[in-house]
Amino acid sequence: QVQLVESGGGFVQAGGSLRLSCAASGRTFNIYASGWFRQAPGKEREFVAGLFWGPAITRYSDSVTGRFTIAGNNAKKTTYLQMNNLAPEETAVYYCAEKAGTATEFSKWGQGTQVTVSS
């Protein structure tokens, strides 16, 4: 199975930037897409960004378009999320996830990394 570990979270002031990393191990050969999600206090988990590995297509939520960039390094089995111009409302636990080629949803999840944006 696939194991995912997020890193790179931390404390940043509004307008600042962070880069998150998601390292995958295990059986990663059949991963079809990687994604980033976040869950703020009292809120439901929401989609942030996704990367389809075959044609390298990226998708973003409307709220982060133009500020966030998702990228992947297949050799390092790592997915990155560059987050620029962060706002306090984006304080959340950020999770990476993977979707297998035969799956209809993201089914592998990391433990999450905390991102705190101060005003």
User: What are 37-55's pLDDT values in tens digits?
Assistant: 999 999 999 999 999 988 7
CA-based nearest residue to 72, from 63, 61, 64, 82: 82
pLDDT at position 53: 87
Residues of the chain short of pLDDT 70, as ranges, are none
Q: How many CA atoms lie within 13 A of 18 on its CB side?
A: 22
Tokens, residue 21: 């990393």
Task: Give the tens place of pLDDT for each residue, 7-16.
Answer: 999 999 999 9
Side chain identity at 55, as an amino acid letter?
P
pLDDT at position 27: 78
pLDDT at position 56: 81
